[in-house]
């Protein structure tokens, strides 16, 4: 004999677990991206930006 209310509770628990997993993994990815942004910002601060110029066709040969 199946109890539909029991199945609904199990389904709600499973969906809640999946949603919590998605939320926590998204938060973890955001923290990793912020750490990456801070490290790249520090690396960019230590080295000045290099100027780029268009190469002339004669210098390639």
> pTM of the full predicted structure?
0.60
Q: In whole numbers, what is the pLDDT of the chain averaged over residues?
A: 84
Pick the more confident residue, 55 or 23: 23
- Residue 59 pLDDT level (bands cut at 50, 70, 90): low
d(CA 30, CA 49): 27
pLDDT at 4: 62
Instruction: Output the 3-class SS for the chain.
Output: CCCHHHHHHHHHHHHHHHHHHHHHHHHHHHHHHHHHHHHHHHHHHHCCCCCCCCCCHHHHC
The answer on pLDDT for 49 being more than 90 is no
């Amino acid at each position: 004999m199946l109890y539909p209310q029991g199945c609904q509770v199990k389904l709600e628990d499973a969906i809640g677990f999946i949603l919590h997993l998605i939320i926590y993994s998204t938060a973890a990815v955001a923290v990793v991206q912020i750490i990456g942004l801070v490290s790249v910002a520090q690396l960019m601060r230590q080295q000045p930006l290099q100027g780029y110029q268009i190469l002339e066709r004669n210098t390639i040969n």
